[in-house]
């Protein structure tokens, strides 16, 4: 991981990783099946709402307004959480967030924690950081459990094990569950119900024994200090209610001003992510309540590159992302390469625009190019993030970052600007290019150019320039005619 986490250091660039992924027929079959199913469900439930477009517009407006006054809403959130008996911690980057969480766990004297699926904790590499402190984090989301048992990496925001099919999961459970606790039952089949039951039995003892839970957050309401987690399996609800201490790591962009604002997102998120009308489990809590749930609540507010992103007037719109993964499921590139090719915990179209902004374009320079710019992600996004616009913006940044003021490309551009600025120089250059082009031409086409210029001619099939430029022809034949 980099200093800010997010990317897996040592991963090949996107084109290289994509080439390997494209050769994996099984992976492509798994992805096609999974993304097509989710895509169809999303379209059907979104079409049920007459005001779907109005909801999207409202969500976009709420996120924009919140981003404009983010400092104010975060302080309001801190005040409300503290007033309700919770504690708020501020983390500038991944390393600081990991230190805070590890210290909070150590203060309880525990060495094991249960975890709810969370992109923020993946982003900062929390499990690995806790392992270095001798603390074991047990993932309780079924897909995250599959990734953890396989010592794998997640490949999708919502379905981290989307790259695995049922048979692969059955084999993994049979081989690995015993190393982490309750073993898989004898003769386990690849029937989804049997797999879910095996996971349930495996996790039950962890839930009952855990004194500390770690979660992420989908939203936090500034005016009441209420934190929200949405999930499908109920494992999250167990983590949020059984342990004595709850530690939540939340990106600072997840704050929303009021409950009325939350209502908009609770309609958009389930339809866009799992294709459901509402989330099976929506948990909300405000600080601590005596005799009900954890007696200690810590909220870690994570920056990790977000304020830098906020400073970019085009790129800041990605902070509106509610991690629904609709853009992944409609992306023709993601469907063929899968998530690992992006080398980041954030794959797909949102990963291609979020990762370079969180870690800096130099560290993820190939990602803004991992797109056909077809715009399907923009159409699908429930908060109307214009991903193609941000991709084009980041491509320009990558080019700019790579350009050395004395590089051949920069010098050539400077020379071109001078020539194009002067009609006299342009005419002379056209004559020289025409002459040179015809000298180098073979059978009406420009052949191999000398020196470093051959990189240009090797990949192009260009006709030889005409003997006379259009400007010269015009001067000879048309100038002075009415
Ligand atoms: S960018 Fe939009 S579609 Fe993609 S995960 Fe974020 S909210 Fe969902």
The percentage of residues in the chain with a pLDDT greater than 70, rounded to a whole number, is 98
Answer yes or no: is 388 within a domain: no
pLDDT tens-digit readout, 430-445:
888 777 777 777 777 7
pLDDT (tens digit per residue) in 271-285: 999 999 999 999 999
Read off the pLDDT band of 45 (50, 70, 90): very high
Angstrom distance (rounded) from CA 308 to CA 329: 28
- Residue 3, pLDDT score: 64
Final residue belonging to a domain, choices 259, 285, 306: 306
Q: 223 and 105 in one domain?
A: yes
Ligand 1 pocket, residue 382 CB under 6 Å: yes
pLDDT value at residue 386: 98
Residue 450 above 80 pLDDT? no
Confidence of residue 1 (pLDDT cuts 50, 70, 90): low
What is the token pair recorded at 123? 């982003």
pLDDT, residue 453, reads: 75
Query: Looking at the structure, do residues 412 and 298 belong to the same domain, yes or no?
Result: no
Same domain, 426 and 283: no
Lowest mean pLDDT among 21-35, 60-74, 262-276: 21-35
When divided into structural domains, the chain yields a total of 2
- State pLDDT tens for residues 300-326: 999 999 999 999 999 999 999 999 999
- Nearest atom in ligand 1 to the alpha carbon of residue 350 is 1
Residues 271 and 123 in one domain: yes
d(CA 302, CA 244): 23
Torsion of CA 305, 308, 309, 311, to 10 degrees: 160
For residue 470, the surrounding DSSP H or E stretch is helix 470-477
Q: How far apart are CA 234 and CA 57, in angstroms?
A: 31
Q: From the CA of 71, how far away is ligand 1's center (Å)? A: 23
Structural domain includes residue 168: yes
- Is pLDDT of 162 > 70? yes
Quick one: how far is CA 99 from the chain centroid? 24
- Average confidence score pLDDT of the chain: 91
Binding site membership of 380 for ligand 1 (Cβ less than 6 Å): yes
Q: What is the pLDDT of residue 459?
A: 76
Whether 64 is in a domain gets the answer yes
Give the CATH number of the domain where residue 178 resides.
3.40.50.10420
Which residues is 442 bridged to in the sheet? 445
Q: Is residue 193 part of a domain?
A: yes
pLDDT in tens, 333-380: 999 999 999 999 999 999 999 999 999 998 999 999 999 999 999 999
- Rounded percentage of the chain residues whose pLDDT exceeds 90: 71
Tell me how far the alpha carbon of residue 383 lies from the centroid of ligand 1, in angstroms.
Answer: 7
In a domain, 403, yes or no: no
What spacing in Å lies between the alpha carbon of 346 and ligand 1's midpoint?
Answer: 11
- Which residue's alpha carbon is at the smallest distance from atom 2 of ligand 1? 381
For the chain, the residue count is 482
CB 321 near ligand 1, within 6 Å: yes
Instruction: Give the residue among 450, 427, 341 at the shortest CA–CA distance from 8.
Output: 341
Q: Is residue 419 part of a domain?
A: yes
Q: How many CB atoms lie within 10 A of CB 205?
A: 11
Q: Convert the pLDDT of each residue in 70-117 to its tens digit.
A: 999 999 999 999 999 999 999 999 999 999 999 999 999 999 999 999
Residues 390 and 354: their CA atoms lie apart, in Å, by 9
Domain that holds residue 107: 51-306
Q: Are 239 and 115 in contact (CB under 8 A)?
A: yes
Q: Are residues 248 and 112 in the same domain?
A: yes
Helix (H, G, I), strand (E, B) or coil at 47: helix
Residue 480 has pLDDT above 80, yes or no: no
Checking if the pLDDT of 235 tops 70, the result is yes
Q: Flag whether 322 is in a domain.
A: no
Question: Of 278, 306, 334, which marks where a domain is finished?
Answer: 306
CB of 364 sitting under 6 A from ligand 1: no
- Pick the residue whose CA is nearest to atom 8 on ligand 1: 324
Shared domain for 415 and 291, answered yes or no, is no
What's the gap in Å between 267 CA and the centre of ligand 1?
14
Q: Poorest-confidence range of 83-87, 175-179, 382-386?
A: 175-179
Of 306, 329, 363, which residue constitutes the final position of a domain?
306
CB 391 near ligand 1, within 6 Å: no
Q: From the alpha carbon of 377, which atom of ligand 1 is closest?
A: 3
Q: Are residues 291 and 412 in the same domain?
A: no
- Verify that 148 and 294 share a domain, yes or no: yes
Ligand 1 pocket mutation pick from 268, 351, 382 by most atoms within 8 angstroms of CB:
382
Instruction: Please indicate, yes or no, if residue 147 is contained in any of the structural domains.
Output: yes
Strand boundaries in 57-156, DSSP class E: 87-91, 112-115, 136-139
* pLDDT for 181: 86
């Amino acid at each position: 991981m980099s200093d800010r986490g997010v990317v897996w250091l040592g991963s090949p660039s996107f084109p290289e990783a994509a080439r390997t992924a494209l050769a994996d027929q099984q992976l492509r079959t798994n992805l096609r099946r999974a993304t097509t199913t989710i895509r169809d469900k999303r379209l059907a439930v979104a079409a049920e709402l007459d005001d779907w477009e109005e909801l999207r517009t409202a969500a976009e407006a709420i996120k924009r307004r919140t981003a404009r006054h983010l400092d104010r809403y975060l302080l309001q959130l801190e005040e409300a959480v503290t007033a309700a008996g919770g504690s708020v911690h501020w983390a500038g980057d991944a390393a600081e967030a990991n230190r805070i969480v590890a210290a909070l766990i150590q203060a309880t004297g525990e060495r094991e924690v249960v975890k709810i699926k969370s992109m923020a904790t993946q982003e900062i590499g929390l499990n690995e950081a806790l392992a270095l402190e001798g603390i074991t984090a047990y993932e309780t989301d079924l897909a995250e459990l599959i990734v953890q048992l396989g010592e794998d990496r997640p490949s999708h925001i919502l379905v981290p094990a989307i790259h695995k099919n049922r048979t692969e999961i059955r084999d993994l459970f049979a081989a690995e569950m015993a190393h982490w606790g309750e073993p898989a039952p004898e003769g386990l089949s690849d029937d989804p119900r049997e797999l879910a039951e095996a996971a349930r039995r495996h996790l039950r003892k962890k839930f009952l024994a855990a004194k500390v839970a770690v979660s992420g957050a989908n939203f936090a309401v500034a005016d009441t200090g209420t934190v929200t987690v949405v999930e499908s399996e109920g494992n999250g609800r167990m983590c949020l209610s059984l342990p004595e201490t709850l530690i939540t790591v939340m990106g600072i962009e997840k704050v929303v001003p009021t409950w009325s604002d939350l209502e908009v997102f609770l309609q958009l998120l389930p339809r866009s992510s799992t294709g459901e009308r509402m989330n099976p489990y929506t948990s909300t809590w405000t600080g601590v309540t005596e005799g009900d749930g954890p007696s200690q609540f810590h909220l870690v507010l994570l920056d990790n590159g977000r304020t830098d992103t906020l400073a970019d007037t085009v790129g800041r719109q990605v902070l509106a992302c509610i991690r629904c993964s609709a853009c992944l499921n409609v992306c023709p590139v993601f469907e063929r390469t899968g998530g690992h090719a992006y080398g980041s915990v954030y794959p797909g179209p949102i990963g291609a625009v979020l990762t370079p902004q969180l870690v800096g374009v130099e560290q993820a320079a190939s990602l803004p190019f991992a797109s056909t710019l077809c715009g399907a992600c923009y159409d699908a996004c429930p908060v109307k993030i214009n991903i193609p616009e941000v991709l084009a913006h980041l491509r320009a940044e990558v080019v700019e970052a790579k350009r050395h003021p004395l590089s051949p490309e920069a010098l050539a551009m400077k020379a071109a600007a001078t020539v194009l600025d002067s009609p006299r120089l342009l005419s002379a250059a056209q004559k020289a290019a025409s002459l040179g082009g015809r000298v180098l031409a073979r059978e009406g086409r420009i052949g191999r150019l000398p020196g470093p210029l051959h990189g240009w001619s090797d990949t192009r099939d260009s006709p030889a320039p005409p003997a006379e430029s259009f400007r010269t022809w015009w001067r000879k034949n048309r100038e002075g005619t009415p």
